[in-house]
Structure 1
Amino acid sequence: MEESKKVLESFIPVAKSTAKMFGPNCEVVIHDLTNPRCSVMFTVNNHVTGREIGQSFDHLVKTVLRSEDFKDDYLAGYTFVTEDKRTIRSSTSLIRDSKQNVIGAFCINFDVEALNQMQQFMSTFLSTQVEVQKNETKSDDEIENVEGIVDQLIQQIIQNSVHPVMKRHEKIELIRFMDEKGIFLLKGSVEKVASLLGISKVTVYSYLDEIKNKSSEGRIK
């Protein structure tokens, strides 16, 4: 753990210089993925998305790892929309330790709302043609890499949370967290979680159904 901390802290100067170069609309976040439930360990210009130290990752599994363009441990140029409807353009690069285990993520979030407004203004004067390119299919090695990264996340999440007298509601809360983060979107993840928690995959599915039902009831209210 000490080695991981030192490796991640070595990226802090890079985070500061990146934010300084691109200005206040550029947020940089470093995640410690050895502590997935509280992964944010450093931020610069966190007013861009409101990321706070101690929060967890949001887009790592759902957007980054599942993207067909995720290769060589990074995804650049993906976008998401904030709660106040601003478009953020992002890049995420994974950080590995000396044993090639994924221990962190280096994320750059740029508020492009002003640029979008400028583009809309320019589009009234300039005609543009967008060429749609077909995404390449992931190779077997790339799929195996993503599965390995998610396996590490699952193991780290459970390792940091499980204890000998873990109660049912604690297991449900743990599964709810993993569901929110997109862990169960990947094939085989239910079986892996079930095995590490010492429960059946049927139980995991029943917990997921319970979580879904409670969420639906909350929306109805």
Structure 2
Amino acid sequence: MENIKNLLESYIPLAKSTAKMFGPNCEVVIHDLTNPQASVMFTVNHHVTGRKIGQSFDHLVKTVLQSEDFKEDYLAGYTFKTEDNRTIRSSTSLIRDSKKKVIGAFCINFDVEALNQMQQFMDTFLSTKVEVQENETTSNDDLENVEGIVDQLIQQIIQNSVHPVMKRHEKIELIRFMDEKGIFLMKGSVEKVASMLGISKVTVYSYLDEIKHKSNEGETK
């Protein structure tokens, strides 16, 4: 059986050399997606976004997999803001095992705040606009690839958490985690989660409503 840990660790030299080449503003993170709830297994220059070993992924589903430009297992040049309002330019590439199953992600995060001061010169580099070639459409293969990746994440998340005497509040927390990570943005995900948890689709929606209600209560306090 292939050793996933060893395979992912084989990317560490690449992570270190990438960070060394681009300097302290470049953070590289390796995720173990067979452990989605604590996927960060290696990071260098973690001060860029504050990523720490044992944390979970943030942008994989909501930004990367949901992007029309996610093709061939990678998305390059997307941006997001940190909590202190710094702009981070990122690239994410998926890592597959010998059976083509997605087991990890290799992420590069670059703090471009210093470059923002050179806006005129760096317009091309910093542009978040994506040039779409004519007649370029998202193929069925691309959609199936994304759906397959999210299916794997759902299976792994539930496999890591479900036990025979799982209580209601534990199921709610599990669904909260998946909701925060964007799992339910994918069509059909509610049905898949309901089936794997052995509950109805209506129950999943009721848990999501309860989570939203509690979140709104917390914001108004």
TM-score of the pair, normalised by structure 1: 0.93
User: Could you tell me how far apart the structure 2 residues matched to 1:152 and 1:3 are?
Assistant: 18
- Return 5+ residue gaps in structure 2 as ranges: none
| Aligned counterpart, 2:148 | 148
SS of equivalent to 1:155: helix
Matches within 5 A, 1:42-81: 42-81=42-81
Q: 1:110 aligns to what?
A: 110
* C-alpha distance in 1 between matches for 2:146 and 2:128: 30
Aligned residues: 215
SS in 1 for 2:172: helix
Within 5 A, what are the aligned runs for 1:187-206?
187-206=187-206
* Residue equivalent to 1:23: 23
Which aligned segments of 4 or more residues in structure 1 are displaced greater than 4 angstroms?
A: 129-132
Taking a change above 3 Å as real, the CA distance of residues 133 and 195 of structure 1, as seen in their structure-2 partners, is same
Q: Structure 1: where are the runs of 5+ without partners?
A: 124-128
Q: Using the alignment, how far apart are the partners of 1:199 and 1:85 within structure 2?
A: 40
Q: How far is the alpha carbon of 1:133 from its aligned partner?
A: 3.1
TM-score (norm 2): 0.93
1:132 CA displacement: 6.7
Alignment of 1:90-129 (within 5 A): 90-119=90-119
| Corresponding letter in the other structure for 2:80 | F
1:137 offset after TM fit, Å?
2.9
Q: CA RMSD in A?
A: 1.8
Counterpart secondary structure, 2:141: helix
The question of 1:133 aligning with 2:131 is answered yes
**Cα contact 2:77–2:128 (8 A) shared by 1:** no
Per-residue CA distance 1:145-176 (angstroms, 9 max, x = gap):
00000000000000000000000000000000
Could you tell me how far apart the structure 2 residues matched to 1:176 and 1:161 are?
A: 13
